[in-house]
Structure 1
Amino acid sequence: MAIVHNPLIIPILHFIKQQRAAVTEHELLTALQQQGEFDGLQVAGLGATAASNDLALFRRHFLIMNALYQLQQQLLADGLHLQISPLCIQLAPLAASHGSSLADVLESPALAEYYGDLSNLADTDEGDVQQLLTGFWQRYLAEDKQVEAYQQLGLPVDASWQEVKLAYRRLAKQYHPDHGGDHEQFIALRSAFEVLAQVLN
C-alpha cells in the first residue's frame, strides 16, 4: 500500500517542538488524545478506533509510529534527527557522527519499513494484535527470568557464557548439600544456570 498522508504528522511535529526534553510514546499518545486528534481519524480507510480496546490502541500506536518515521525522513533534510523509541522521542540537531543519510540515522530500518507500509495496519486484525501481545509478554517474562538468573549468580547482565559457568561452579561448590551447603540455594543456582544455558550456550 502506498504511503498516504498521515494527518498526525503536523500535530506530532508541533508537540515535539514544544518539548524541552524527550517524551515517551505514551505521553505523545495521551497528548494527541487530549487534543482530539484521533476523533474521526481515517487513514487508508481505517479509523483509530476499533471494536476492541487492544485493536484501537494498536491502530493509534501504528499511526503515531508511521507519522514519526515520515517526520524523521523529512526532518533529516533540515539537519535534524528525530530519535524514535517507545521510551524516548526527541528532536535534536543532526550530530556529525550520525551521517547525513536516512540509513545513517535509522536505529531500526526494519521498524521504519514496517511502520512505513500502511498495508501492515490494514492487514492487522484482533487476532494478530492478541498474538503480538502474547509474544511480547512471553519475551518480557523470559528476559525477566534472565535478569533474575544473572542476579542469582552475582553477575552483570552482560556476562559471557564463560563467566556464567565459572560463577556457577564456584557457587555450586559452596552451596552443594553434599558439602554442607544450603539445598534450596543450590536448587536456585542450578535453575539460574539452566535459564542462562538456554540463552547463551
Structure 2
Amino acid sequence: MNWLVRTFSCSVAKKQFMAVTGLAFCGFLTTHLIGNLFVYGGKDAFNAYVEHLHALGVLVHIAEAGLIIFALIHIGMALILYFQNLAARPVKYKMKKNAGGRTLASATMPYTGLFILIFILVHLVSMKFADHSTLTTFDVTAGVLSQPAYLVFYVVSMLIVAFHVNHGFWSAFQTVGASHPKYMPIIRGFGILFSLIVGVGFGFIPIAINMVS
C-alpha cells in the first residue's frame, strides 16, 4: 500500500499515468473513427457495423469499463497536477514567456481537456443514451447532427480534440522516456498527422451523413 501512496504522490508518476491513459485514448479514437467511416457506405452499412459491435456483448462492456477507469485516472491526475501547479505559483507572472518549450497548446491543455470532457458528456447523452427503441443508431446520429447548434458544437469540439491530441501525443512519448533526438521529430510529425486525421475524419462525419441519408 505504501508504494501505491508514494507512486500517486510523485508528480512524475502522475504525468506517466496521464501519458499512458492518453495514448490509450488515442487508440480508442482510432478504432472509433474506423467504425464511423462505415457511414460512407450508407445507412444499412453503418447500422450493420453497430449491430456487429453490439454482438460482442460482454467484450464491449469490458472495453467501456476500461475507458471509464482510464478517464478517471487521466482526469484525476490532470486535476491534481493543475492544482499543485497553482499552489506552487500562487502569484501569476506579469509576463508569460514561452520558456522551456511552453507553447499555446501545452498552456491550454487543462482547458481543452475540460472542453473535451463536456463534449463527451453531451455526446453520450445525445447519442448513446438516446431512445433507440424506435430509431436506428444511424437515424439517431443523423437527427442529432442535423441540429444547427449541435453541428457547430460538434465541429468546434473536433477541432479542439485535434489541437489537444496534437500536443498530447508527442508529449506522452516524451513523458514515458521516448525522447531520443533521432526519433522525437518522427513522433512529433506522426502526432501532427494523427491529429489532422482525427480532426478531419470526425469533422466530416456530419457531411457524410447528409450525403447518404
TM-score range, shorter chain: under 0.3
TM-score between both structures, scaled by the size of structure 2: 0.26
Q: Which has the higher helix share?
A: 2
TM-score between both structures, scaled by the size of structure 1: 0.27
Q: Which has the higher strand share?
A: 1
Q: Of the two, which has the highest radius of gyration?
A: 1
